Amino acid sequence: MSDWLAALDRRAELRAKAGLTRTLRPRAAADDDIVDLAGNDYLGLSRHPAVTAAATAALDEYGLGATGSRLVRGSTAPHHALEEDLAGWLGAERALLFSSGYLANVGAVRGLVRPRTLLVSDAHNHASLIDGCRISGAETMVTPHADVDAVRAALAAAPGRPAVVVTESVFSVDGDLAPLAELHAVAREHNALLLVDDAHGLGVVGPGGAGGAAAAGLAGEPDVIVTATLSKALGGAGGVVAAPAEFVRHLVDTGRTFIFDTAPPPAVAAGVRAAMELAWSGEQLRVELGDRVAYAVRRLRAAGLTGSAPKGAVVSVTAPGPEAAVAWATDCRDRGVAVGCFRPPSTPDSRSRLRLTINVGVPRADFERALEVIVECAP
């Protein structure tokens, strides 16, 4: 009976030798001395007074949890108000809340699949999109990263079949922007749908921070479905699918990750709604965010480090290997700077890197000092 545990121990040893061990560390209070370039609170809204006040008021009114799924007892006024505002922000007919961006992606992909559907998925897509494709059971063609010609060829090779092109807007590893307008044109040419995961674009790019799809002029297009998480630029939790009303109705009726999951807490929905209003009108926040991203790229390159030149707020810096990446991130943390450490299998190209998520809530002087620490700790 203990053989399976011994097998797990052996696998853990192999991961450790490859530098792939992962560790859970409790985070201290938000006012600790760590400069956070690892979290996704891009606009610094998670602790904004208006956000916490809205969440507190809903917490007093509704209690801690939603107490049930949306179709049982979990739908509250804050949920519906947030869905209405998100639909307006994203230019969609309707929006539907999920308890995480992961479940929104899995639910959306599965909901788009019909018999004989072909899914054309970018090689750098997030794990939630990959898992959505796998769970759907549909044939999936993985195309090289941001390669419009490869997408065109995949669709042309499946004439007459229903198809969905699946992509992120701002990719989560290197922060680069997908060629959404070109992908949409190719998808429409072949009567395919386009699913855009705007997790790292929402609040950061596009008019009024409405995301990468809006930046590409695709908001409200009937053949475009947008998903996003509410845990990044909006500083909260949950996910959303913004789409034509018919598809949202389909998800309410059939979406397993919606029907059988407890609703997000009303307090979170209320707080996210307040954050959304701040992000919608927060153009100066996005200007500062863009300035910091450009500064980070210049400083890292001046130090001879290889990194991305992103369109969003994710900056990746190449490490020599997984063990070097772990040591680099650990040294930074020991000097008061938290950075992301991405190694296989989290990286789609088997390349290890540090990932810096730029946060305008960090004081500018601390941000610039953190970059110096990253440079000084480089292997």
Q: Is the pLDDT of residue 31 over 60?
A: no
Least confident of 128-132, 213-217, 308-312, 329-333: 308-312
Query: For all residues of the chain together, what is the average pLDDT?
Result: 95
pTM of the predicted model, to two decimals?
A: 0.94
Exposed/middle/buried for residue 252 (C-beta within 10 Å: 0-12, 13-18, 19+): middle
Phi and psi at residue 329, to the nearest 5°: -65, -40
3-state DSSP call for residue 204? coil
Question: Structure tokens of 25?
Answer: 């560390």
* Residues with a known catalytic role: 40, 126, 168, 172, 197, 200, 232
Residue range 18-30: mean pLDDT, rounded: 77
- CB 107, CB 227: distance < 8 Å: no
Q: Is the pLDDT of residue 106 over 80?
A: yes
153-177: per-residue pLDDT in tens?
999 999 999 999 999 999 988 889 9
Angle formed by the axes of helices 101-112 and 127-136, to 10°? 40
For residue 239, name the pLDDT band (cuts at 50, 70, 90): very high
Q: Which has more pLDDT, 21 or 371? A: 371
272-325: per-residue pLDDT in tens?
999 999 999 999 999 999 999 999 999 999 999 988 878 899 999 999 998 999
48-72: per-residue pLDDT in tens?
999 999 999 999 999 999 999 999 9
Q: How many CB atoms lie within 10 A of CB 43?
A: 25
For residue 351, name the pLDDT band (cuts at 50, 70, 90): confident
